[in-house]
Chains A and B, each alone.
Chain A
Amino acid sequence: MKIIAFCGAGIGTSAILKVNAERALARLGIDAQIEATDIAGLAVAAEDAQVILASPELVKFIGKTYADVVVIENYFDLDELTRKLEIALG
């Protein structure tokens, strides 16, 4: 299973999202690969991804995808991440 953490520059915020999503997955006992990427790398990275995690501000940049787009409001809130990942992957 593959999950994308998406941000504008591909450093910083997407890496924070990746770290916290990994913690949420650990809580759920789900084994998945999480890849942080920027807008330039998104199309390729998302080809075989089940879920794209993104800020509400960035959803409009995602374009057509078969992956579930999950909007995360607070990147540090493990309860929010766990709840939304559980729904998306359940």
Chain B
Amino acid sequence: MRLDELPDDVIELRARATDWRQAVRLAGDALVAGGVVTDAYTERMVQVVEEFGAYIVIAPGLALAHARPGPDVLHDGLAVVTLDEPVVFGHPHNDPVEVVLALAVTSTEGHVTVLAELANAFNDPTATRSLARASTPDAVRAVLTRTQSES
């Protein structure tokens, strides 16, 4: 999985969701469209939030939906969904959400590189806004691979 080679199939822009469940399902649907997971994984991502709360909203406006590895994960992958209207997830500080990333991995090891790349992109506090405004998959890939110089 490389962020600069993220396929168009897993990127959905300006999608409409009326609540957090629908937003997470849109991100799951994008993973399914990319052949990364089956529908069962989408429901497991919803269950993680039902069980543990909105902790997946890890920065202002940004949710990282995920669940544990399982047979419903076909290979490692990431999906990016931007929302036409921001959605409240119930996080005390970081609501509302305008970008939902969905991560699926086949094992708990080995996905560290892509997460370090994501950290490079989102250490820039303007990255979520830039993604929300992106109108093409190329613009999304450009934001995700933009690296901040470490200070």
Contact = CB atoms under 8 A, between A and B. Distances in A.
Interface of A: 7-13, 15-17, 19-20, 23, 27, 38-39, 54-58, 61, 73-78
28 contacts: A8-B51, A8-B56, A9-B48, A9-B67, A10-B68, A11-B68, A11-B103, A12-B103, A13-B58, A16-B64, A16-B115, A17-B58, A19-B119, A38-B68, A39-B52, A55-B58, A56-B92, A57-B55, A57-B91, A57-B92, A73-B93, A74-B59, A74-B94, A76-B58, A76-B62, A77-B59, A77-B125, A78-B123
Nearest to B116: A19
B150 to A, nearest CB: 7
Given A19-B115, A57-B52, A57-B91, A76 B123 contact: yes
B36 interface: no
Interface of B: 48, 51-56, 58-60, 62, 64, 66-69, 91-94, 103, 105, 108, 111-112, 115-116, 118-119, 122-123, 125, 150-151
Contacts of B51: 8
A65 B60 CA distance: 29
A76 B122 contact: yes
Ranked nearest first, the 8 interchain pairs of A and B with the lowest CB-CB distance are A8-B52, A12-B66, A55-B55, A57-B55, A57-B53, A75-B58, A76-B122, A73-B93
Contact of B119 (A20, A57, A58, A73): A20
Contacts of B103: 11-12
A7 B112 CA distance: 15
B115 A15 contact: yes
Contact of A13 (B55, B116, B150): B55
Chain A CB count within 10 A is highest, among B48, B53, B94, B119, for B119
Nearest to A15: B115
Given A10-B108, A74-B59, A74-B93, 17 more contacts: A8-B48, A9-B66, A11-B103, A11-B108, A12-B56, A12-B103, A15-B112, A16-B64, A16-B118, A17-B58, A23-B119, A38-B68, A39-B52, A56-B93, A76-B58, A76-B119, A76-B125
